[in-house]
Amino acid sequence: MDVLTQEQRRLNMSRIRGRDTKPELLLRKGLHARGYRFRVNVTDLPGRPDIVFPKYRAVIQVNGCFWHGHDCHLFKTPASRQEFWAEKISANRSRDKLTDRALSDAGWRVLTVWECSLKGVKRRPLSEVLACCETFLRDHNNKMDTVRSL
């Protein structure tokens, strides 16, 4: 049973952002400052990737640990409606795999940056995350490893 009323839950859920999240904005600002130019939420690519670098044929997905079921300290299954959340997160993870495969099959390289890399007790310094992103972008000749995670 939900501890919030239906109206309170609707209000809470309506405030959850699907784009322009804080982790996305941190990455975009940092990469732009380093001279990288990109497009955001490109609708004609599978899954509408968060950050697209056409020049490098690469995309960066910035995933929230809760919504995408990351195995880290930021993910915890809610106590209420556990079956609903298990199905929801499982479906999100399956969709992520299909999207990554579709992008890879279309010739795009995919890097997933997890929210826990940028916030929480185990976060990495932003400069380190940006350096990893730069390495991924520059390493465009490596076609063997088209889907990576950070």
User: Which residues, in sequence order, are CB contacts of 137 under 8 Å at separation 6+?
Assistant: 36, 53, 56, 58
47-98 residue pLDDT tens: 999 999 999 999 999 999 988 999 888 888 888 888 988 999 999 999 999 9
For residues 79 and 111, what is the distance between their CA atoms, to the nearest angstrom? 31
Domain boundaries, the chain: 18-149
Query: To the nearest 10°, the Cα dihedral for 65, 106, 30, 150?
Result: 40
Query: pLDDT category, 111, cuts 50, 70, 90?
Result: very high
Q: What is the pLDDT of residue 145?
A: 52
Q: What is the pLDDT of residue 79?
A: 84
Residue 143 has pLDDT above 90, yes or no: no
Q: What is this structure's pTM?
A: 0.84
C-alpha distance from residue 150 to each of 5, 15, 83, 89 (Å): 37, 26, 29, 19
Q: How large is the average pLDDT for residues 108-119?
A: 93
Which fold would CATH assign to domain 18-149?
Endonuclease; Chain A (3.40.960)
Q: What is the pLDDT of residue 3?
A: 76
Q: What is the pLDDT of residue 10?
A: 75
